[in-house]
Structure 1
Amino acid sequence: MVNYSNITSNIAGLVLLVFLCVQGSFAQSQMEIRVNLAGYPKEMPKTGLILSKVELGNPKLSLKTESGLLVKELTGSKTEASWEPFPFSYSIDFSEVKDLGAYYLELENAELKSPIFNIGAYPAWQEDVVSFIRTQRCGFNPLTEKECHQMDGLSFFGLFPDSTKVDARGGWHDAGDQLKYLITSSNTAARLLMTFQMNPEKFMDHVDDRGLEGSNGLPDILDEAKWGLEWILKLHPGPNELFHQVADDRDHRGFKLPHEDNADYGWGANNFRPVYFATGKPQGLSEYKSEATGIGNLAGRSAATLALGYQVFISFEGYQSFAQECLKAAMELYKMGKEKEGFQQGNSFSAPYRYEENTWADDMEWAAAELFKITKEKFLLEDARRYASIIKEWSWMERDSANHYEMYPYVNMGHYALWQVGKEEDKKLMIEYFEHNLDRIQERSKSNPYGVGHLFIWCSNNLAAAVSTQAMLYEEMTGSKKYRPLLIDHMNWLLGLNPWGTSMITGLPENADFPVDVHMPFWKLLNISVKGSLVDGPLWSSIHDQMLGIEISEEDEYDHLQPDHVKYMDDWKDYSTNEPTLDGSAELLMILTFLNNE
C-alpha cells in the first residue's frame, strides 16, 4: 500500500527546505542543529538533534568529514516531545560510525551545518578541572600568588565561648564568592581521591604543593586532594570537635579578589570571619536559621574522605605519617557521626539561601565501608549495611523537584563503596538501588527531545553530571552497558546538545561556544577566564524568575533560543545559572576521565 501521507509530508518538507535555503539568514533562525561539541567516544551512542519552527517531514542529512567527504546519509526522526521556541525536533543517530576523526552534519537543501565534532576519546580535560579547583584555593592562591583570609577565624556555637580564635585557614572558596563549606569541600576532596584511584595513570605532575609550576613527585590531582584533606583536619582540632563553615552570606559585597576581601563581619573589612561549629542543632547569627538533627552527613562524609586519603597516601614515599593522621581523624569523626546521627545544614545570615542537605545515612554508609577496607573490622561492615538499609534508593533522582542541595552528594557513593567490600547479597542490593534511580531518570528523559531526566533546580548541571557518573559506576558494577545512552545524553547536554548550543564548561571544548561572562571575580576584575569549571546550569523559569537580585548586564545572546520553561544566561549578573562551582566541577572528574579512556 502506498503511504500518501508520507509522500505529502516529504514533498512539503522539500519545498520548505528550498524556501528556507533561498531565505538565507531566515533559515538560520528557523532551524538549528545540535551536537555534542566535544564529540563522541568511539563505542558510545552518537546522536544529534534538529530543532525547527516548521515541520520538516523526514529531513535528510549528510555526515561528512571535516574536509567535506561524505561518510553517511542520514534521515532525521521526529521526536515525540519538543520545546519552544522550536515546536518540532528531529533526532539523528549515527552510532554505527566509529572511525576516528572530525566530522559535521549538514542538512540537505538548507545550507545548514553543525559545528565540527570529533569521534574518539575525549582530551584529558580532567586536568583542566583540577586546575580550576586549584584556583579556588584559600590561603595561598596560585592564580593571584597572594595570601588571603589569614584571619580565619572566630568560633561560634563551639565548645568554647563565641569569638574564640581558631585556625580555619586554607581550604577552597566555594564558588564565585569566598565562603568555605565542609559540606561541599569534603565531597570535592573525595572525588579527587576516588578519580585518582580509578585511573592513576591519567594524571600529570606539573605543579608543586603550592600550585605553582614545577613538579614535586606527586600528581597534581593529589596535591589538590591533600590541600582539601589538610583543611578537613584543621576543622577537626580535637576528638570531639568539628567545624563546618567559614564565613556566611555577609561575604556578598560585589566582586572582590580574595586577598582584598571587603566583607566586614564586625571586626573590620578583610579581618576575622566566623567559623561555625557542628552542633547538630539549628544555627544562625541573624534572621535566617538552618535546620539540623545531627552531624552524620558532615562527620560521615569527612570520615569517608579522610579514609580515602589514607588509602591513597599510604603508598607514597614520605606521606605515610600524613596517611596515618587521616586515618586517626577518620575514626574519630566516624564515632562522632554515630553519636549524633542526622544532618547539619549550611548557615546563612541575611538571605534565605543555604545548602539544605537533609540526608546523612549515605555519608555514614560511605565512611563505614571505606574504613572497613582499611581495618577489616566487622562492625564497620555491619554499620555500612545498616546505613544502606536506611537510605536505600532515596535520592533526588526519585523526585520531580528538590530543594537546594537537599539530597547531597548527588551520587550515593556509600552504595558504591559497600558494593566494593560487601558480599554477593550486598553487591546485588547496591546494584538494585542504582538501577532503581537510573530507571527513574530514564523514564523522565522521555518527556523531552534531549533525552535528559535530571531536574532543573539550582545547580542542575551537577545533577546532569551525576546521572552520567552513576551510569558509569553501574556499568563497572555490572558489566552492563544498558545505561550508556543515558550516560552520553547527559554529557551531550553539558557539552552543547541543549537548547542554547553551548557547552556548560568554561573554556571547553576549545573553539566552541562555552561560558565566558561568568559570575566570577577573576573574570570581572582581572579579565581571566579559568578553563575547566562547570557552571550552575539552567533553571526552571518558575525558580529563575523568583531569584533575588538577578539582573542582566546586556542583551541575552540566547534570547531567540530560550525555552519558555527553562532559562540559562551567559551573563555575570546571573549568579543562579552562570556561576562556576567547586563541587560541581569535581562532579565532572570521574566521568571526564572515563571518557578520556576510550
Structure 2
Amino acid sequence: MNKNWLLILIFLIPVIAGFATEQPGAWIRINQLGYPTGGVKVAVWCSKQKDQVTGFQLVNVLDRKVVFAASAGKPFGAYGPFQETYRLDFSTFRKKGRYYIQAKEARSPEFEIGDDVYKGAADFCLRYMRQQRTGFNPYLKDSCHTQDGYVLYGAKAGIQDSTFIDVVGGWHDASDYLQYSTTSANATWHLLAAYRDFPGIFKDTLHANGLKGKNGKADILDEAKWGLDWLLKMHPKEGWMFNQIADDRDHISMRMPAQDSQYGRGLQRPVYFINGEPQQRGKFLNNTTGTSSTAAKFSSAFSLGAQLFYKDKPFSKLLAIKANTAYQYALQKPGVTQTVSVRSPYIYAEDNWVDDMELAAAFQNNTKEALSYARQEPVTPWLGKDTARHYQWYPFINLGHYELGKRLKGPERDTITGYYKKGIEAVWELAASNAFYRGIPFIWCSNNLTTSFAIQCHWYRQLTGDLHFQQLEQANIDWLFGCNPWGTSMIYGLPAKGDTPSDPHSAFTHIGHYPIDGGLVDGPVYTSIYKGLIGISLHDPDEYELFQSDLAVYHDDYGDYSTNEPTMDGTASLIYLLAAKEAESRVQALKKK
C-alpha cells in the first residue's frame, strides 16, 4: 500500500470512530401514537446546548416534500437535561398521512396524522388487566392464589383472627401480587365509566373468563364484572368489609403468581379487615382514621355496576343492595383507610375521603349531601403542588365533581366546574413556563397522576365547552406517548413500532418472558426520590443516560421498581382516557363528512 494512503487511513480511523460515537445535540419529541386531524398537534424541540431554532418543517414520508412550515415560536429555556427547548405547533395542519418534523439538524421519528390514531388503544390496554387476574388467569391459562385467605383485624365484627374467608379473584395490584380494595374499586369504576361514556369503542372478542370467543358482551364489561365479583367477596355482608389481601412480605422475591407461600399458612394469604383503626405498618402503625375512603369507592363501583348490568336483574339488584350497605359502612366512621405494610415503610397513605363520599352520594342521588362533601374539598390538594406522599390524594382527581356536575344546572353546576377549573389553573401555573407543559410532580406513579389530570381537563371541557386548557390537556397525553425528555412511550407495546418499555419491573417479563401489553408504567420520579429508595439497582446500561438530570429520572430497567413498574389502577384510568380520545376522534371525523 502507498505510504501516503496509509498515513491518510491512520488519520481517518479516529475521525470515523468519532463520528460513529458522537451524539446528536438536539432532538424532537413527539406523540408516537400520532395526532388526530382535528386535534392539538405539538412536538417539542430540545437541545443539550444553548441553541436557537427559528422555524420547522413538516415533511411527508412518502415523497419527502415539505407540506407545512411555521415559526418555532418563543424559546422556553432549560428543562431537565436540556439547555433550550421550543414548542413546535402544527395544529392547523389537518391532512392525513405519515410525516416527520425537521428543525435545523434535528429530525423527529415518523408519526401518523389521522382519525384512527387512537383506534383500538383502549382495548389493547385491557390485555394488561386480564393478565393481572387472580383465580383463573386467562393469560397463563392457569389458576393462582386459589386459597385466599385468612382474616386479620376482624374482632370488631366477631371474626376471629386466622378465620378462612373466600376472597379469590380480582387483580394483582402491580407487578407484585398484593390486592387492594381501594385501587381495585377505583379501577372497576373507571372500566365501567369507560363503557358507559363510550360504549361504541369496545369490542367483544373474548368470553367472560378471558379466553378467545364472543359472549355477546363487550370485553371491558367482562373485565369490569371480574372486578365487581371480587369486590362482592370483599364486602360479603352488611358490616363486613376487607381492605387488602397480602402485604409487603410479597416483596421477598420475584416469582410467577402461583408460587406465594411466604405467609406461614401454605398458599393462604392474610386478608385485612377494615375496622377504622390504625393497623400494622412495619415498626409503626398506619394512619387509618375511619372507614370512608375505601367503603365509598365500593359503593360507587356497585352503583354504576347496577346501572350497567340492568339486564341481569338478580346481579343488578345485588349490586344496588351492596352499594347501599357499602355507603352505610362508609358512614360508620368518617375518615381514611390506609393500607398495611409489615417489613417496609411504603404504603398507600391516602389522606382524603370526602371526594370518595361525594362520588358515592351522587350515585345515591343525594345531591345535597354530595354538594356538602364537594365544598369540603373543592380542589384535590396535590394540584399545583410540587410533591405529595405516595397515593396521598387518591384517586388523584375528584371523580365526584364530574358525576355531580352532570346532574346540576345553573349556579350550582358553575360552582362545581369552577372547582375543576381552579385545580387546572394551579397546574397550568407550573406548566406554562416549560416546553413540555409539565405541571405534574415527579412523585412515585407520576404517570397515574398525569393520566388522571388529563381526564380532569377532558371532563372540564365536556362540562363547560371551555377550550382554554386544551393544549395543556393534550400535552399530558402526549407526555405518556413519548413527548417527554426521554422520548419514550410509557405504555408497554403501545405504539407497536415505537420506543416503549421493554424491560419492566415485572415477573411476567423477567421470569416468564411474557409481554405485558398495555401496562402503564409508574413513570419518572424526582432524582432525589430515586436516590433515597430501598433496593434499587440497574441491571443493564442505562439507554436513557443522556436524558437523566438532577430534576427527574426514568429507567427502562427491571431493577427500577420506582419508574418502570406497571400498575393495574393506572392502566384502568388510561383505558378511560384512551376511549375518550378515540370517541372524540370519531366525532371529529363525522363532522368532516
CA shift digits 1:185-205 (9 cap, x unpaired): 000000000010011111111
Match of 1:306 among 299, 302, 305: 302
SS of alignment partner, residue 545 of structure 1: helix
Query: Paired residue for 1:191?
Result: 190
**Aligned positions, number:** 563
Query: Paired residue for 2:322?
Result: 329
What root-mean-square deviation, in Å, do the aligned CA atoms of Structure 1 and Structure 2 show?
A: 1.7
Match of 1:105 among 89, 101, 105: 101
Query: Paired residue for 2:579?
Result: 593
Contact map agreement 2:281 2:343 (CA 8 A) in 1: no
Q: Give the residue type in structure 1 aligned to 2:124.
A: D
Q: Give the residue type in structure 1 aligned to 2:205.
A: H
SS of alignment partner, residue 32 of structure 1: strand
Query: Paired residue for 1:229?
Result: 228
- Structure 2 residue 421 is matched with structure 1 residue 420: no
Match of 1:135 among 131, 136, 139: 131
Match of 1:343 among 331, 336, 339: 336
Report the Cα offset of residue 66 of structure 1: 1.6
Query: Paired residue for 1:8?
Result: none
Contact map agreement 1:148 1:259 (CA 8 A) in 2: yes
- Structure 2 residue 60 is matched with structure 1 residue 61: no
Query: Paired residue for 2:456?
Result: 470
Report the Cα offset of residue 24 of structure 1: 5.6
Query: Paired residue for 2:10?
Result: none
CA shift digits 1:292-312 (9 cap, x unpaired): 111111111110010000010
Query: Paired residue for 1:540?
Result: 526
Query: Paired residue for 1:176?
Result: 175
Query: Paired residue for 1:583?
Result: 569
Q: Give the residue type in structure 2 aligned to 1:578.
A: N
Query: Paired residue for 1:265?
Result: 263
Query: Paired residue for 1:367?
Result: 360
Q: Distance in 2 between matches of 1:73 and 1:286?
A: 59
Q: Give the residue type in structure 2 aligned to 1:403.
A: R
CA shift digits 1:34-58 (9 cap, x unpaired): 1111121222221112211234333
- Structure 2 residue 34 is matched with structure 1 residue 35: no
- Structure 2 residue 210 is matched with structure 1 residue 211: yes
- Structure 2 residue 518 is matched with structure 1 residue 550: no
Q: Distance in 1 between matches of 2:572 and 2:167?
A: 22
- Structure 2 residue 201 is matched with structure 1 residue 202: yes
Q: Give the residue type in structure 1 aligned to 2:520.
A: L
Q: Give the residue type in structure 1 aligned to 2:264.
A: G
Q: Give the residue type in structure 2 aligned to 1:176.
A: S
Contact map agreement 1:278 1:344 (CA 8 A) in 2: yes
Contact map agreement 1:395 1:410 (CA 8 A) in 2: no
- Structure 2 residue 444 is matched with structure 1 residue 444: no
SS of alignment partner, residue 193 of structure 2: helix
Match of 1:527 among 501, 513, 516: 513
Q: Distance in 1 between matches of 2:231 and 2:482?
A: 36
Report the Cα offset of residue 95 of structure 1: 1.1
Match of 1:277 among 259, 273, 277: 273
- Structure 2 residue 250 is matched with structure 1 residue 254: no
Match of 1:383 among 362, 369, 386: 369
CA shift digits 1:558-581 (9 cap, x unpaired): 001112210000000100000010
Report the Cα offset of residue 91 of structure 1: 2.1
CA shift digits 1:273-316 (9 cap, x unpaired): 110000111001752321111111111111001000001000x3
Q: Evaluate the alpha carbon distance shift between residue 97 and residue 389 of structure 1 in structure 2; reply closer, same or farther with a 3 A threshold.
A: same
Match of 2:46 among 42, 51, 54: 51
Report the Cα offset of residue 80 of structure 1: 2.8
Q: What does 1:89-100 align with in structure 2 at a 5 Å threshold? A: 89-100=85-96
Q: Distance in 1 between matches of 2:498 and 2:347?
A: 34
Q: Give the residue type in structure 2 aligned to 1:250.
A: R
CA shift digits 1:169-211 (9 cap, x unpaired): 1010000000000010000000000010011111111111111
Q: Give the residue type in structure 1 aligned to 2:126.
A: V
- Structure 2 residue 290 is matched with structure 1 residue 297: no
Q: Distance in 1 between matches of 2:409 and 2:71?
A: 48
Contact map agreement 1:465 1:588 (CA 8 A) in 2: yes
Answer with 55-64 or 223-232: which moved more: 55-64
Q: Distance in 2 between matches of 1:179 and 1:129?
A: 20
Report the Cα offset of residue 590 of structure 1: 2.0
CA shift digits 1:529-559 (9 cap, x unpaired): 1211110000001111101000000110000
SS of alignment partner, residue 252 of structure 1: helix
- Structure 2 residue 392 is matched with structure 1 residue 406: yes
Unaligned runs of 5+ in 2: 1-17, 586-593
Contact map agreement 2:380 2:396 (CA 8 A) in 1: no
Q: Percent identity?
A: 38
Q: Distance in 1 between matches of 2:53 and 2:281?
A: 62
Q: Distance in 2 between matches of 1:544 and 1:58?
A: 33
- Structure 2 residue 421 is matched with structure 1 residue 435: yes
Report the Cα offset of residue 90 of structure 1: 2.2
SS of alignment partner, residue 210 of structure 2: coil
Contact map agreement 2:30 2:43 (CA 8 A) in 1: yes
CA shift digits 1:37-85 (9 cap, x unpaired): 1121222221112211234333443211121121012332343332243
TM-score (norm 1): 0.92
